[in-house]
Structure 1
Amino acid sequence: MTSRKSTQTMKPATAAKKLGVYLEATPAEFQEGVVSRDELNALQTDPPEWLRELRRNGPHPRPVVAQKLGISTSGLARNGLTEPLTTEQINAIKDENPEWLQHERTTRINALHEEQRVKERKAAKEAEKHA
């Protein structure tokens, strides 16, 4: 007796997160259904126009907004940016380059440097153990 492999599916919210788009901006049929792994792969390799448009112009979910601004999602929250933003809104913030954005970028860079330093220190300790 052979078992049939079941199709792996996910909720629309999970699929939207994996695609980097804001769920509420997706078409109703996407929001109301389930997405199989094969469908997700197809959307990633050959995105339909609605997906290309969302990725291009938004509205973008917070992780994408943070990435486009070069800051953390915590940095967004600290500065009152809790809603999805369009590419136009993100570009306006970049053009304005407010003090809070400069500060959050510096904070993010420092955090990345610290993560790297800790990683290197841990690797050096591991190497000492095995030497």
Structure 2
Amino acid sequence: MNVIDYLRQHIRTVPDWPSPGVQFRDITPLLQNPRVFRVLIDQFVHRYMAPDLRPDVVAGIDARGFILGAVIAYELNIGFVPIRKKGKLPFDTVAPRIRELLEKAAWAKAARDFVAELAASAEVTGVTLKAA
């Protein structure tokens, strides 16, 4: 069995949560088993060990992104940047206009200028991920 299939076995699907029609992907089983969690983190970390692929920081989007992103950043010995909704962090933040970023594809330039791997939450939409 390959590593991805192994990890998928430890992701639970919860139908109709938090609302009807949503298939919530629960990663709690990945976090509860230290061996499985190590395999998961190693999959991220080993991707970026080469100097030309090494990110400057890891940016994690809310909840799961904080859990995974902080550990990945630690393992890569780089910084971690939390990404949350406006008003959810107690310090000065950067709040780009998402629509403007997407319409002008400014996020692509930002990605080239500031390399960051997103450890994204399973419930994040594509729009949020692109904006981040």
TM band (smaller chain):
under 0.3
Which of the pair has the greater relative contact order for Cα pairs under 8 Å at 6+ separation? Answer: 2
Structure with the higher fraction of residues in strand conformation: 2
Q: TM-score, normalised by structure 2?
A: 0.23
TM-score, L = length of structure 1 = 0.23
Larger Rg: 1
